[in-house]
Amino acid sequence: MHIPVLTYHAANVAGTAYAGNDHVALAHDLRLIDALGWRIIPLDAVLDILDGRRPAPDRPCLALTFDDGTEFDVRPIEWPGLGRQPGFLPILQAFRAEAGERQPELHATCFVIASPAARAAMDRECLFGGGVMGEAWWPQAVASGLIGIGNHSWDHNHPVAPEDAPDGLPRGGFHAVDNDVRAHWQIARAQDYIQARVPGHAVRHFGYPYGDCNGFLSRHWLPQHGPALGLAAAWTTDGRPASASEDRWALPRYVCGLHWRSPDGLRQLLDGMRP
pLDDT given at position 1: 82
pLDDT digits (tens, 9 = 90+) for 202-235: 999 999 999 999 999 999 999 999 999 999 999 9
Return d(Cα 157, Cα 194) in angstroms, integer: 16
Does the model's pTM come out above 0.85?
A: yes
Beta pairing partners, 110? 66, 149
pLDDT in tens, the chain (275 residues): 899 999 999 999 999 999 999 999 999 999 999 999 999 999 999 999 999 999 988 899 999 999 999 999 999 999 999 999 999 999 999 999 999 999 999 999 999 999 999 999 999 999 999 999 999 999 999 999 999 999 999 999 999 999 999 999 999 999 999 999 999 999 999 999 999 999 999 999 999 999 999 999 999 999 999 999 999 999 999 999 999 999 999 999 999 999 999 999 999 999 988 76
pLDDT given at position 81: 96
Count of domains forming the chain: 1
Which residues have CB under 8 Å from 208's CB, separation 6+?
153, 174, 217, 234, 235, 236, 237
pLDDT given at position 72: 97
**Domain coverage including residue 129:** 2-271
CATH number at residue 164: 3.20.20.370
Q: Are strands 242-243 and 2-3 parallel, antiparallel or unpaired?
A: antiparallel
